[in-house]
Structure 1
Amino acid sequence: MSVLLQATRRNKGPRAALSNLRNNGKLPGVVYGYNIDSIPIVLDYKETAKAVQTYGRTSVFQIEVEGKKVNAVITDVQRCALKGHVKHVDFLSINMSEELEVEIPVVATGESAGVKEGGILNQPVRTLKIKVKPAEMPEHIELDVSSLGIGDSISVRDININYEVLNADEDTLFTVTPPGVAKDDTAGQGDTDNADIKATEAPESEN
């Protein structure tokens, strides 16, 4: 079931106009793709943030603009480099009967045997690119890591899920390293690229 978001057409203008929209609780964006011309839009910041936090960034959203409703997915979220708040969102209008190629977050379940022995669970690849119909698109993909001992790993070739995976077979999803071996990316760290829009007050001017 898609989530309805009300939008209005946005007139293109100077950066000051965009800042004014954001200061008044609005979120600039664009919707383009299947059965629609590219339309610059503006949405309510809090309403959009609440929908994304509730249903997940990989959900199908129904955008209503100028009396027309289209099913769409989020393809890009632009953030302020300094403050981290969302500045702009791109929506791709889709055909619900056709498969999409989408990036879905991978989540570890269970406690690794190696972690119980003091090892560190690392997640070098955090998303899987899959082909899936919009109505069947998962919020995330869970992989059980409980059998991983120190030195063990799970690669794409090792998994068996009900989706066509487009990643390379050798891509490592999880690995357990010995204690004291430093890694840049661990499974416990956040992923800013896939972070949700936060349901906070609209960002202040960036002047």
Structure 2
Amino acid sequence: MAQWWRSAAGHLRTVAAATRRESSSLRVSCYHTIQAIPREFSGSRVAARERTQGRIPAVVFYQNLLEKDPAVRQTFSSKKHLVTVERKQIKSILKSPDAFSFCSTRFPLQIRAGSGSSHLLESGTVLPIKIHRDEESGKILNMVFVWAEDGMDLKVDVPVVFKGEDVCRGVKKGGMLNKIRTSVKYLCPSEHIPSKIEVDVSNLDIEDRIFIRDIEVHPSLKLLSKNENMPICKVGFGHQAWGGE
């Protein structure tokens, strides 16, 4: 136990610092303003035609529309838009080094009257929450965005990035790092959504674990996991590294 607390001390300082940097510097992506145009109709044939024209069918709405309560969905039924976005632009974003945090990064969105039009119909800040791909080809079929203006609370799966595995004390002794959780879900005020959480594992020894409860995030974030005592990673030997006893 003493060994765990010694190794955890340095780790927690690193996680806290990384999370603060992400929540302050990457609240909104300044590199890409997603350009969209309206689409009047849905359906597989219409969607297929849009894809042949280099566009991806998408929808943007309030996240509350996903709630089970009909009264809540009715309240937030406004500002739902059927749109298409430029495939070339989305592919460019997804080829960047930070593509893994695409669904935890806010983007400015502009909905224009048509392709190349200067007439702006709607604008705001959005969060991508889902990318549907063809199972065989991997091509993007459609996308889902939710409005993410400051002051809104959103449920977000924040990706976990493990740092220091190459110099991890336990790995150097022949252990293996089991990355048990690759994301953690929080209820986040939009302006404090961290694009990622960095977890420093360099000080972990054999049998050391890092738990969800050990992750220090902005105090406004609410953990949505039912078990904060679940480990997000563990260093162990052989089958023990993968959850065995």
* TM, length-normalised to structure 1: 0.78
Which residue of structure 1 lines up, in the alignment, with residue 179 of structure 2? 123
1:135 to 170, 187, 191: 191
Q: Is 119-128 or 130-139 further displaced after alignment?
A: 130-139
Tell me how far apart the structure 2 counterparts of residues 114 and 100 of structure 1 sit (CA, whole Å): 37
5+ long unaligned stretches in structure 2: 1-27, 63-75, 114-120
Alpha-carbon separation, structure 1, partners of 2:33 and 2:171: 43
Counterpart for residue 58 of structure 2: 29
Question: Which residue is 1:61 aligned to?
Answer: 107
- Per-residue deviation, residues 23-46 of structure 1 (Å, max 9, x unmatched): 221111101126943221111101
CA positional deviation for 1:53: 4.5
Cα deviation for residue 172 of structure 1 reads 1.3
Which of structures 1 and 2 has the bigger CA Rg? Answer: 2
Structure 1 position 50 matched with structure 2 position 109:
no
CA deviations 1:162-206 (Å, max 9, x no partner) are 35333221221011120355749xxxxxxxxxxxxxxxxxxxxxx
RMSD of equivalent CA atoms: 2.4
Matched, 1:166 2:202: no
State whether residues 36 and 93 of structure 1, in contact with CA within 8 Å, keep that contact through their aligned partners in structure 2. no
Q: Contact 1:130/1:166 (CA < 8 Å) preserved in 2?
A: yes
Counterpart AA for 2:188 = V
Aligned mates of 1:100, 1:14 — CA distance in 2: 28
1:50-89 aligned at under 5 Å gives the runs 50-54=92-96, 56-57=101-102, 58-65=104-111, 66=113, 67-89=121-143
* 2:169/2:205 contact within 8 Å kept: yes
CA distance in 2, matches of 1:9, 1:42: 6
In 1: Cα distance, 2:144 partner to 2:169 partner: 41
Structure-1 separation of matches of 2:49 and 2:150: 35
C-alpha distance in 1, partners of 2:94/2:50?
A: 20
Q: Which amino acid is 2:209 matched to?
A: S
Percent sequence identity over matched residues? 24
SS in 2 for 1:169: coil
Distance 2:77 2:193 in 1: 21
Q: Distance in 1 between matches of 2:34 and 2:215?
A: 36
Aligned to 2:11: none
> Which of the two has greater helix per residue?
2
Matched letter for residue 105 of structure 2: S
Asked if the contact 2:124/2:149 (under 8 Å) is kept, the reply is: no
Answer 1 or 2: which has greater strand percent: 1
Name the structure 1 match of 2:236: 177
Query: Structure 1 pair 70/169, CA: closer, same or farther in 2 (3 Å)?
Result: same
Residue identity in the other structure for 1:42: T
Retained in 1: the 8 A contact 2:210–2:231? Answer: yes
One-letter identity of the residue aligned with 1:41 = V
Contact 2:178 2:241 in 1 (8 A): no
Structure 1 residues 180 and 156: CA distance shift in structure 2, 3 A: closer
Aligned mate of 2:161, from 107, 120, 123: 107
Number of residue pairs aligned between Structure 1 and Structure 2: 184
Gaps of 5+ in 1: 185-207
Alpha-carbon separation, structure 2, partners of 1:116 and 1:137: 34
SS in 1 for 2:49: helix
